[in-house]
Amino acid sequence: METVEISVATGGRSTTVDLTSEALTFCRGKGDGLLSVFVPHATAGLAIFETGSGSDADLLDAIDGLLPPDPARWRHEHGTPGHGRDHVLPALIGPSLTIPVLDGIPALGTWQSIVLVDTNVDNTTRRVRLSFLAG
């Protein structure tokens, strides 16, 4: 298995970051297999969804609706007030994805993108591991 780790700047704000181009570059020339994408953080997740056309903002708004940043709601005791929601996020948007790779290209649908989802304003940089398992 081949693995690389990339650093992703999130800017210390709730955000989504499209990682599809990094995945395409990593898989290029590798043939058939599986791509694993993993974020080794307790307060970030990964999703496959259509980016652009407002979808990114819609997702962040939906997260705010499900996990309001209201400090009084969360019992978690460290970090910025309301940070407890960030620790719940990976239970809803998991920290890993597995994507089939065909002829060196992740087999995503036409409008699908690989996206880091991060609501934690306390961290400005995330690590993401891309691993390829040949088939």
d(CA 11, CA 111): 26
With a cut of 70, which residues of the chain have pLDDT below it? Answer: none
Domain of 82 in residue numbering reads as: 2-134
Residues in Cβ contact with 60 at an 8 Å cutoff, skipping those fewer than 6 apart: 14, 15, 16, 119
Q: What is the CATH number of the domain that holds 9?
A: 2.60.120.460
For every residue of 42-77, which 3-state class applies, written as one string?
A: CCEEEEEECCCCCHHHHHHHHHHHHCCCCHHHCCCC
The pair of structure tokens assigned to 52 is 């652009």
Domain count, the chain: 1
Q: What is the pTM of this model?
A: 0.94
Query: What tens digit of pLDDT does each residue of 92-113 get?
Result: 999 999 999 999 999 999 999 9
Q: What is the pLDDT of residue 132?
A: 98
Alpha helices in the chain (DSSP H): 20-27, 55-66, 84-92
